[in-house]
Structure 1
Amino acid sequence: MKEVEFAVSSGIISFPTIPMAKEVVVPDEPFVIGEELDHVRLITLNRPRHLNIISSKVVSLLAEYLEKWEKDEQAALILIKGAGRAFSAGGDLKMFYDGRKSKDSCLEVVYRMYWLCYHIHTYKKTQVALVQGISMGGGASLMVPMKFSVVTEKTVFATPEASIGFHVDCGFSYVLSHLPGHLGEFLALTGARLNGKELVAAGLATHFVPLEKLPELEKRLISLNSGDEKAVKSTIEEFSLNMQLDEDSVLNKKPIIDECFSKGTVADIIKSFEAEASKEGNGWIGPLLKGLKRSSPTGLKITLRSIREGRKQTLPECLKKEFRLTMNILRTSISADVYEGIRALTIDKDNAPKWDPPVLDQVGDEKVDLVFQPFQEDLELKIPEQEQCRWDGKYENSAYAN
């Protein structure tokens, strides 16, 4: 298996790069396993060799299972986990790159994923994510919105999309913008990684359970055979630990983060971060600052605006906005940086992207405005407005399919 080396400010993250369009389905190796165990439903992301990458097939299966079980009176508790050492490393960058010369080659999977994200956030049954390892980008969208999300000492979270000319998506312009202070801007712009303890402290996960106890917890939840939130919470708490943050955790640097990432523009954020980096005891800023300066100027500006808008938007509004941003970015409406970023980091691996424009002050606000413009109404992502129709709006019933 090839892997993408996804450069972020705090290090190198490896992502699988098996293109969705070229997947080979092995009959005895389903991408997603759905099990019905009395009143419990268990979803296993089942591509461990590929870090449980989210493909078009995975999105379709997840949507199928979740709709079926929400409507099933016998289903009370939904568990989701990943096989192997990862929960999910997210979507596939190479898929986007392979489709760069074909008009809207990824539109269907993008539409389906953002539509699914709404239903995960608003699901009517009790959900528990058992997150044993990597949970990044779109993969983290299967963890963070759950009623209960259990992480371990091996869990690694990040949203590093801005560094390659993309933006934080899958509902994260909503999630990150609602974190305390300006932590959301910090995570979105730097791609900084958080461990399990930090995820609980930041409110992005609910419980920390040692990895060795996770299989036993899963068995107990299955034997509980109930979706009663108090009972589920009590069961998880039997296994969970109250962990103290490491002394050098970025979450202990919150005053500096809030001061720097509250600035009005990306340029001012970087300038403020530089000033703090020169002070004694702030060596932790160096790698993050280096990553910021290496990132796509266009990606950074789009991401900052998206997070800032997210503070005043509902979840449906954020998802509709993210759909527009994704499609406009993939259509190279104002820049082809996303393809250049993927090329430099995953195709040629020269780690020397040539951004266009190359510097922040050449990315005009009027250009950024273009990717945020609403689509014609029938071409927007369809988020159902009425509860009785909440599973309407599927891609196959959209103007795109027709």
Structure 2
Amino acid sequence: MAQEIVYPEEEVVLTKEIDHVRSIVLNRPNQLNVISSKVVSTLAECLEKWERDSSVELVIIKGVGRAFSAGGDLKMFYNGRNLKDSCLEVVYRMYWLCYHIHSFKKTQVALVHGIAMGGGASLMVPMKFSVVTEKTVFSTPEASIGFHTDCGFSYMLSHLPGHIGEYLGLTGARLNGKELVSVGLATYFVPSEKLSELEKCLVSLNSGDESAVKSTIVKFSENVQIDEASILNKLSIINECFCKDTVEDIIKSCETEASKEGSEWIGSVVKGLKRASPTGLKITLRSIREGRKQKLSDCLKKEFRLTMNILRTTISGDVYEGIRALTIDKDNSPKWDPPSLAKVDEEKIDAVFQPFEKEQELHVPDNEEHRWEGKYENSVYAEKKATN
């Protein structure tokens, strides 16, 4: 296992049991509640135990401090870069945890205040009830550092309306709380000053009855109205640009759009795509596109292969270079290999998608009894669009 620093007195996950309610608190505020091997194992153990416990009806998860969870512990992966498969166990358990959250049979509520990125957001989006605030910030920025859209997001992003999933996955663009509800990645918007009181009411409810939980949350929630400048008001342009077959064509389309009056905003999108890992972009686009035709279980199996192949530097060491530039040396000047989209070998991209030997695959059930079916159809944005 890759080396990670956890102070002895630090409880990375806090749990509380109150009659029929169980709560999980991510407790690494100084590290923005990043997901370490200890966090993964603790969450998995708790959910497995509580699902078997007939007295448990409601599970609440939240984060301490400025973040719900900023995603995977990048330094843990970086520290294990020279040790063969040092992170295999934690990666396998994380993907199993993702599946378990999607298929968990008890009522779950995520109270998301602050950053929810990448793998951290996978603890939020699949929940039956995901509550966000004005402080919530969501993104899936993995492609930019040579990784890929993981933890079930090749499934979830691909099921969003139009091609906004490709936009979010390739650019790492951020959405705020109101936008998350509007696009269907969260269920309710509650102002941050009401979040503590909502939690108290959910605990005192002492029930997992979905109607009762929903009614309780609705009392604290507000209808959302996205800002005029929101990217969700530019879906027609996003669909036009990000529907293209290749990353190269997407960038060309964005450049064409950026030259038009009133579309200057997309110039920064182009710059971001050109700074990102060419290999990460290619893998991410293909993975999201495949996700449209795959079951959740298939997406998780595929993402597990991609994760392990990327960590093994099967075709490129970009992920470690990306982590170095972002979190180790912090020079924000990664040297990608290969350095351009034109030099990415498509046959090598094909190779990282190929199935492993049976015993090396991620083994999760193939049934599709999971909660997340795309919240967009019931979202405020869908209702707004239907009336226009």
**Are 1:349 and 2:308 an aligned pair?**
no
Q: Secondary structure at the match of 1:260?
A: helix
Within 5 Å, give how 1:153-302 maps onto structure 2: 153-302=134-283
Give how far 1:350 is off: 2.1
Match of 2:347 in 1: 366
Q: Distance in 2 between matches of 1:47 and 1:362?
A: 40
Give how far 1:386 is off: 7.1
Q: Deviations over 1:193-240 (max 9, x none)?
A: 000000000100000000000000000000111101111001000000
Give how far 1:314 is off: 0.6
**Are 1:150 and 2:127 an aligned pair?**
no
Q: Distance in 1 between matches of 2:6 and 2:74?
A: 18
Match of 1:14 in 2: none
Q: Distance in 2 between matches of 1:387 and 1:97?
A: 34
Between 298-307 and 350-359, the greater mean CA deviation after superposition: 350-359
Within 5 Å, give how 1:93-172 maps onto structure 2: 93-172=74-153
Q: Distance in 2 between matches of 1:62 and 1:303?
A: 27
**Are 1:26 and 2:23 an aligned pair?**
no
Give how far 1:385 is off: 4.5
Q: Distance in 2 between matches of 1:385 and 1:349?
A: 41
Q: Distance in 1 between matches of 2:307 and 2:100?
A: 19
Conserved? CA contact 2:24–2:60, under 8 Å: yes
Q: Deviations over 1:94-130 (max 9, x none)?
A: 2111111110111111110001100000110000000
Conserved? CA contact 2:297–2:368, under 8 Å: no
Q: Secondary structure at the match of 2:3?
A: helix
Q: Secondary structure at the match of 1:300?
A: helix
Q: Distance in 2 between matches of 1:92 and 1:289?
A: 28
Q: Deviations over 1:258-306 (max 9, x none)?
A: 0100000000000001111111111221222111011011000000000
Look up the equivalent residue of 2:157 and give its one-letter code. Answer: L
Q: Distance in 2 between matches of 1:85 and 1:162?
A: 24
Give how far 1:31 is off: 1.0
Q: Distance in 2 between matches of 1:338 and 1:311?
A: 25
Q: Distance in 1 between matches of 2:39 and 2:2?
A: 10
Q: Distance in 2 between matches of 1:132 and 1:349?
A: 26
Q: Cα gap change, 1:387/1:194 in structure 2, threshold over 3 Å: closer, same or farther?
A: closer
Match of 1:78 in 2: 59
Which of residues 90, 93, 104 in structure 1 aligns to 2:71?
Answer: 90
Which of residues 351, 360, 363 in structure 2 aligns to 1:382?
Answer: 363
Look up the equivalent residue of 1:162 and give its one-letter code. Answer: A
How many residues in Structure 1 have an aligned counterpart in Structure 2?
369
Q: Distance in 1 between matches of 2:330 and 2:100?
A: 37
Conserved? CA contact 2:36–2:76, under 8 Å: no
Q: Distance in 1 between matches of 2:367 and 2:176?
A: 37
Match of 1:395 in 2: none
Conserved? CA contact 2:63–2:69, under 8 Å: yes
Q: Deviations over 1:42-63 (max 9, x none)?
A: 1111111211111100100001
Match of 2:383 in 1: none
Q: Distance in 2 between matches of 1:297 and 1:323?
A: 20
Q: Secondary structure at the match of 1:21?
A: coil
Give how far 1:387 is off: 10
Look up the equivalent residue of 1:196 and give its one-letter code. Answer: G
Q: Deviations over 1:358-385 (max 9, x none)?
A: 1111112211001001000011011034
Conserved? CA contact 2:36–2:73, under 8 Å: yes
Between 119-128 and 85-94, the greater mean CA deviation after superposition: 85-94
Which of residues 18, 21, 36 in structure 2 aligns to 1:37?
Answer: 18
Give how far 1:20 is off: 6.5
Look up the equivalent residue of 1:186 and give its one-letter code. Answer: Y
Identical counterparts, % of pairs: 75
Aligned CA RMSD, in angstroms, stands at 1.4
Q: Secondary structure at the match of 1:22?
A: coil
Give how far 1:242 is off: 0.4
